[in-house]
Amino acid sequence: MKNEMKTFFAEQAWLQGAWARDVLLSVDATGHWCAVQADTPAAARTDATVLRGPVLPGLVNAHSHAFQRAIAGLTERKGAAGGDDDFWSWRDRMYSAALRITPQQLESIASLLYAELLAGGYTQVCEFHYLHNGVDGAGDPLEMSLALVRAAQRVGMGLTLLPTLYMRSGFGAAGLREDQRRFASTPESLMRLVEGVQRQTRGLEQVNVGFAIHSLRAVAPTPLQEIAAFAQNGGLPVHIHIAEQTQEVQDCIAHTGQRPIEWLLEHAALDARWNLVHATHTTEAELKGVSERGAAIVICPSTEANLGDGVFDYTGYASEAGLWSIGSDSHVTRGWSEELRLLEYSQRLTQRRRNVAAHCGGTASTAAVLFEGALAGGSCATALALGAIAPGQRADFLVLDATAPALLGIPAEQMLDALVFSSPGTPCRDVFVAGRQVVHQGVVSAGPSATPPWPELARHFTQAMTALWSQ
């Protein structure tokens, strides 16, 4: 269903990297901005809906594994066998949920997650989806994909679904292990899946698809190139986990003679459709190569910190003017302000200086540099016109609650600084996706008069968690 044309008025809105005053905002019937005018006289805004707080563009969450919301908070104890905890021991625990979750449970978990992400200021999520098969390793992969589509549609979240190619357990392996049976796919099965999702979602608002390649360790060169060529022909975005852990880098060198990103730059036709997730362990030449190809990096600060992966070389990548976005990945946190804060703080801790992003970006506000950077990478991650309050962009926006404790009394020009570096969360009063209100006064809802769905979402989520963890 198409929107009607709408007009809004904001006393303060974020336009072209700075706050503007008295902004008249017009949304066309397709849900895109058709006019944006600052400094409007009172007479020009008499019929507009007044937005009751500072307005920001919505942000893309460029990396999500929705089912991992079911393990948030449940992997924070050392293993019974002792020894060091790292990504690989965490992965074994994660598999316990991946092997049991049903399509209905996935829909319940993703519905609540997407509602949380909306309340946290995200308006589009890129779902890196590799739970294709049934619990027994069989069944129709489309069933799991459509569970995620229904979840996003239920709460009004924009969705870029990324069915993921996953073929082997590691470099040199012939196939998957038994505990990875749900991930099994081939280029042909993945192409059929993407085409099936496209058929099933034709006409649905704010849903599009792309491809993901799980990692170089999980996909051999020939199938990687096959799926990349298919994506290129369809103009679809491509995402890949890359260089997340040091062991992955060492294994890649041992089997290919090259580092992961080094190999990708030489053997894959990287361009603006490619999104390299994590890229935590890189060289100067690799970062330069990614930037020169126009590809983007997806940084997931809270998950990278939670798993002990390491710290992304933000300063080195910024020196190459590289594109990047953020993702919440395993969803140990669900608001973008915390991701940006963690990104900056990791740089401060390792470099022992303050306002690192501001010095890299050449402007006074660290929060502004981080926010603008995350916005810019969102379009690459989704292949959609997202990331700005400007004509032609989709009308995704947040209305902040200026009376929230973290923002109370803050000068207007420093509202974004306080949002990122004072608030324990994103104090969104209202959230709009394609001009349609999906959060009202902090509560996920189809609109001001709709019955809030949160109690039902919470009930279904709790039922799914009980079923998963009572076994």
Amino acid at 300: C
pLDDT value at position 80? 63
Q: What is the helix (H) or strand (E) element at residue 126, kind and residue range?
A: strand 122-129
Q: Whose structure tokens read 């809270």?
A: 302
> For the segment 42-92, what is each residue's pLDDT rounded down to a tens digit?
999 999 999 999 999 999 999 999 999 999 998 888 876 666 788 777 787
The Cα–Cα gap between 56 and 428 comes to 10
Domain with CATH 3.20.20.140 in the chain: 59-382
Q: CB within 8 A of 108, min separation 6: which ones? A: 151, 457, 460, 461, 463, 464
- Assign residue 264 a region: left if phi > 0, alpha if psi is -120 to 50, beta otherwise? alpha
What is the tens place of the pLDDT at every residue in 417-465?
Answer: 999 999 776 689 999 999 999 999 888 986 555 667 899 999 999 999 9
Amino acid at 107: E
Picking from 249, 243, 244, 297, the residue whose alpha carbon sits closest to that of residue 270 is: 297
Give backbone dihedrals phi and psi of 65, rounded to 5 degrees, phi first. Answer: -115, 95
Q: Can you state the percent helix, strand and coil of the chain, rounding each to 5?
A: 40, 20, 40
Quote the pTM value: 0.96
**Residue 241 corresponds to which tokens in the numbers above?**
């986990």
Cβ pair 223, 167 in contact under 8 A: yes
| pLDDT tens digit sequence for 83-142 | 678 877 778 778 888 999 999 999 999 999 999 999 999 999 999 999 999 998 888 999
Q: Report pLDDT digits (tens) over 246-279.
A: 999 999 999 999 999 999 999 999 999 999 999 9
Q: Catalytic site residues? A: 278, 329
CATH H-level, domain 59-382: superfamily: Metal-dependent hydrolases (3.20.20.140)
Residue 329: both structure tokens together: 């990945």
Bridge partners of residue 49, in order along the sequence: 8
Residues of the chain with CATH 2.30.40.10: 6-56+402-455
pLDDT above 70 coverage of the chain, percent:
96
* Mean local confidence (pLDDT), 235-245: 97
Question: What CATH number should be reported for the domain whose range is 6-56+402-455?
Answer: 2.30.40.10
CB within 8 Å of 195: residues ≥ 6 apart: none
pLDDT exceeds cutoff 80 at 166: yes
The pLDDT of residue 301 is above 90: yes
Q: Tokens for 211?
A: 């491809």
CA pair distance 262, 28, nearest whole angstrom: 44
Measure CA of the first residue to CA of the last residue in the chain; give whole Å.
42
Taking alpha carbons only, the member of 325, 313, 328, 326 closest to residue 360 is 313
Mean of per-residue pLDDT scores for the chain: 94
| The pLDDT of residue 302 | 97
